[in-house]
Amino acid sequence: MSVIDSALVQIRQLHPYSPGKPVEELERELGIANAIKLASNENPLGCSPRAREELARAVAHVELYPDANAYYLKQRLAQKLGVAVDQITIGNGSNDVLDLVARSFLDGNAEAIYSQYAFMVYAMVTQACGARARVAPALGTDSNQPFGHDLQAMLALVNEKTRLVFIANPNNPTGNWLLQDELQAFLDALPEHIAVVIDEAYFEYVDLAQFPNALHWLARYPNLIVTRTFSKIYGLAGLRIGYAISSPQLCDLFNRVRQPFNGNAIALAAARAALDDDAFVEQSQRVNQQGLQQLRRGFDERGFSYLPSAGNFLTVQFNERSAAIYQGLLQRGVIVRPLANYGLAQFLRISVGTSAQIERLFNALDAPG
């Protein structure tokens, strides 16, 4: 087998990420206008007004390369989060950071552990590195966190080849969460030579007692990596900017693997401004809590069950009608997220929108035919 054939075998085994259907694509396909997207957990309020103003200024200098070290954004993050600058790794979205972590620890002789219904990117980056994935069965439907992380099942998979563990808290696409004591007990039980990622992409949306801020554990666990993003509550998904916080030693590794200029100048500027707009974040949190209540109330009234969620989305069970309901909503200009590629074909994931968007969702769901 030639080197090209050998590479093709591995590449063809990769399953591409399947994003939420773009609004423009649906409108083009159906010849409709004013479609809404409740599929990708984006902020229905858009982005911070301060970030929008900064975008306009940054565009004036797009002929220049960005600051490859993201100096000013790191300074602002360090101040806001109470960490050191040399603990921060900037990425082209948190997906890029997850890839950096995987490439730092995984190869053909290593194994990574993640939960059955965890974020699909964990599987993608593991397979891309040629490592073996060890997938822990999720909690059962009789659990108070159905389809969530079973930490004991994950610990049972640890062996001498384990190099990396991924945990999403809250988890996407299910919305489940882990509380402080159980997650800390897991970290205590994990051997120190194994790196563990706690993916906190939805952290700013959580409104729960005893929910952990994993940044507080960095000094205790030198093997811990916390990832976050500007794509969710900060409304900058289109600019692709995220980050990891870890020990300075791990951060140094990631910055050796990281591609130069992986944070573009416009994204860096907007992210700095977004961090200063606490009022926008607080408004986004209020809208999200109200939207979750509106979604739960509407599905309760219609007799549909859903998974508990601490994020900005609700994963709703439609059973054998799931595919038909998804297509019906598309025909009415409402995009939600099918989850068959996660092994959850009976569910649709629905992002929190504005009150008007949620009302439109239910009107489309109730429409005959």
Residue where one domain finishes, among candidates 223, 247, 277:
277
Q: What CA–CA distance (Å, rounded) separates 225 from 145?
A: 24
Residue 141 burial by CB count (10 A; 0-12/13-18/19+): exposed, middle or buried? exposed
The pLDDT of residue 93: 94
* Mean pLDDT across 211-231: 97
Q: What CA–CA distance (Å, rounded) separates 9 from 12?
A: 5
The pLDDT of residue 356: 98
* Mean pLDDT across 127-132: 96
What's the sign of the alpha-carbon dihedral 336, 270, 205, 89? positive
Residue 315 and residue 240 share a domain: no
Give yes or no for a contact between 322 and 345, defined as CB atoms under 8 angstroms apart.
yes
- Do the domain assignments include residue 9? no
- Do the domain assignments include residue 205? yes
Query: What CATH number corresponds to the domain at position 215?
Result: 3.40.640.10
Give yes or no for a contact between 144 and 309, defined as CB atoms under 8 angstroms apart.
no
* Mean pLDDT across 216-243: 97
* Mean pLDDT across 138-163: 97
pLDDT digit string (tens) for 276-302? 999 999 999 999 999 999 999 999 999
- Do the domain assignments include residue 109? yes
* Mean pLDDT across 211-230: 97
Pick from 178, 129, 127: which is nearest to 154 by CA? 178
The structural domain count of the chain equals 2
DSSP label of 228: E
Residue 341 and residue 209 share a domain: no
Q: Which two tokens stand for residue 145?
A: 């966190």
The pLDDT of residue 30: 83
| Range list of β-strands (E), 200-270 | 224-229, 242-245
The pLDDT of residue 22: 85
92: pLDDT strictly greater than 70: yes
What percent of the chain stands above pLDDT 90?
A: 90
> What range does the domain containing 342 cover?
15-41+279-366
Residue 312 and residue 253 share a domain: no
Pick from 123, 115, 187, 124: which is nearest to 145 by CA? 115
The pLDDT of residue 20: 74
The pLDDT of residue 164: 98
Residue where one domain finishes, among candidates 252, 277, 302:
277
User: Is pLDDT larger for residue 24 or for residue 4?
Assistant: 24
2: pLDDT strictly greater than 90: no
Sheet holding 347-351, edge to edge: 313-317, 347-351, 337-338
Confidence band, pLDDT 50/70/90 cuts, at residue 327: very high
Residue 91 and residue 190 share a domain: yes
The pLDDT of residue 263: 93
Residue 192 and residue 334 share a domain: no
- Do the domain assignments include residue 199? yes
- Do the domain assignments include residue 297? yes
Residue 335 and residue 191 share a domain: no
3: pLDDT strictly greater than 70: no
7: pLDDT strictly greater than 80: no
Q: What mean pLDDT, rounded, does the chain reach?
A: 94
207: pLDDT strictly greater than 80: yes
The pLDDT of residue 225: 98
The pLDDT of residue 5: 54
Residue where one domain finishes, among candidates 277, 310, 334:
277
